Each structure stands twice: as structure tokens, then as C-alpha cells.
Homo-oligomer: A and B are copies of this chain.
Amino acid sequence: MPQAKEFVMRPIGHVRSPHGKHTDVPKGLGARHVAEGKIVVEPEYELGLTDIEGMSHLYVIWVFSEAKGFSLQARPPSSSRPHGVFVTRSPRRPNPIGLTVVKLIAREGNVLHVSGVDMLDRTPVLDIKPYLSSVPSEELRRGWLDEEEARQGSAE
């Protein structure tokens, strides 16, 4: 099965966030990502934001640009044991891609004011997509995270 071996991605913009370093980002069970910040889109891509004001929530796809290498198992702050990296949000992944759902507060030209920022300041952004549907919470099972919450009694 011949396939391209690599794909080159270039930032379309970057994040402005109150989180200057990793330790500033709330982590672990019950962590709430309510920080406000901005997605600053390069002016050349501003036309791509047309009609974004109508969307309450957006997916932001970004790069863990400070991650070095990867590990196939990761122990999240909320967990007592390691899990496969694809079952965690660890930055040390084969492709260091991050995904965050943000709430759109306002748009000013090429700048999106958002809340729910869990990225570091100046994080490169690769893509923005509309958040169009949710999995109903009653259909959602979250494996090790549900178990940890039950064990630690911190489910909300």
C-alpha cells in the first residue's frame, strides 16, 4: 500500500494564552480549562474566518511545539498507572498534535477571542474547524478516566 511518508504542515496562526509555561496549565482530574485567550490567524488567512461569528464552539488543532520525542505509554497526572499514549492527551506523541475545543467569545478581524484555552502562549495553530455535534453524555464511556474519578471520588 504505497502512501506518502510525510506531510508538511505550516502554522496558520498562533495562540495567545495566559499560560506561559507548562506548569501554568491546569491538569488532572477536575481541571477546568476556562482561561481566556486569543487565536491570532495570519492576516493572509483572515478570509477563511468568514461567518465564524455564528459558531459557539470551535476545534483548534495545534502543535505541541516544545515536545521532544514521544513515548508510547504515558501516565497522566490524574492516573496512578500508565496508559497508551493514544488514550491520553500527553504531548509526547508520535505526531505532536494537540486538539482543544474552545468557546468563541468574539472576533476582531483576524483575531478570535476565545475561552477554554489550555495551550501555552505562542502555540502554533494548524487548523480551525467548526464544532458541529456532540456525543450525548449518556453514550460516553471514558475508560481509565472514569475509573480514576470513581476511585478518587472526584467525579463531578
Contact = CB atoms under 8 A, between A and B. Distances in A.
A14, A128, A134, A147: residue with the most chain B Cβ atoms closer than 10 Å:
A134
Contacts of A132: 89, 142, 145
Contacts of A140: 56-57, 131, 133-134
A39 to B, nearest CB: 10
* A interface bracket (residues with beta carbon within 8 Å of B): 35 or more
Contacts of A4: 11, 63, 65, 124
Interface of A: 1, 3-12, 14, 41, 45, 47-57, 59, 61, 63, 65, 72-73, 82-89, 93-97, 99, 101, 122, 124, 126-137, 139-147
